[in-house]
């Protein structure tokens, strides 16, 4: 039995529509560049300069085994270049562009951290006959955590305007990435 559950995680707004094996299938951490923002800017006078849109896509295949199920997961995070945008007319210097990219990198990092936690969690879970509910509960719990983290990030940094808080979050993300436990940790 194969289950496909798409999930969507966005920069400013988060929307989200495992025992034995979990894989990221080639997903690795991505450093954002201005080329990753190919979408058309939404200009409604709210001062938003950039928007990052990432998708967390998870699939699993379930196979019965004795009194439990082996679930093989494939969980990916993708930077959606055509849905992410940057209002280049509002960017006045290379330094400002670098700050904007650094802030948007934080949103991507949150999506990446969610993907990695999902992979680690499902890899350590024993699934039984109610595996669909178990998997959904894991996804819902972890997604709620990262939705809140995304909201806190934008609130604390005031969408990067508060440079002290932005620098604090940058350090937090750098530390989380440097010390992130491996997916296949025992």
CA angle 114, 117, 123 (to 5 degrees): 140
Q: Is the pLDDT of residue 84 over 50?
A: yes
**pLDDT at residue 9 is higher than 60:** no
Share of the chain above pLDDT 70, in %: 83
**pLDDT of 114-166, one tens digit each?**
999 999 999 999 999 999 999 999 999 999 999 999 999 999 999 999 999 99
On whether the CB atoms of residues 14 and 145 are closer than 8 A, the answer is no
pLDDT of residue 11: 36
Lowest average pLDDT, out of 46-60, 73-87, 109-123, goes to 46-60
The pLDDT, as a whole number, for residue 114 is 97
| pTM as predicted | 0.85
Can you tell me the mean pLDDT for 29-35? 96
Could you tell me what percent of the chain has a pLDDT over 90? 76
Confidence bin at 14 (pLDDT 50/70/90): very low
Closest-CA residue to 11 (of 173, 154, 172) = 154
- pLDDT value at residue 27: 62
Q: What is the pLDDT of residue 8?
A: 34
How wide is the angle at C-alpha 42 spanned by C-alphas 36 and 47, nearest 5°? 100
Question: What is the pLDDT at residue 149?
Answer: 97
Strands 68-79 and 53-65: antiparallel
pLDDT (mean) for 4-23? 36
Q: Has residue 104 got a pLDDT over 60?
A: yes
- CA–CA separation, 50 vs 180, rounded Å? 27
The H or E element that residue 143 is part of is helix 131-157
């Amino acid at each position: 039995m194969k289950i496909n559950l798409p999930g969507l995680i966005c920069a400013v707004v988060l929307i989200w529509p495992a025992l034995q094996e979990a894989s990221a299938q080639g997903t690795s951490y991505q450093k954002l560049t201005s080329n990753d923002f190919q979408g058309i800017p939404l200009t409604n006078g709210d001062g938003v300069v950039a928007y990052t849109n990432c998708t967390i896509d998870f699939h699993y295949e379930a196979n019965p085994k004795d009194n439990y199920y082996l679930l093989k997961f494939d969980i990916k995070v993708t930077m959606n270049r055509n849905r992410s945008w940057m209002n280049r007319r509002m960017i006045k210097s290379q330094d400002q562009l670098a700050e904007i990219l650094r802030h948007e990198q934080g949103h991507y990092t949150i999506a990446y951290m969610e993907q990695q936690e999902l992979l680690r969690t499902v890899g350590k879970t024993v699934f039984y006959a109610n595996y669909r509910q178990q998997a959904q509960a894991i996804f819902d719990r972890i997604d709620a955590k990262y939705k809140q983290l995304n909201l806190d990030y934008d609130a604390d940094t005031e969408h990067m305007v508060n440079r002290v808080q932005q620098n604090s979050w940058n350090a937090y993300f750098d530390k989380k990435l440097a010390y992130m436990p491996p997916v296949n940790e025992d």
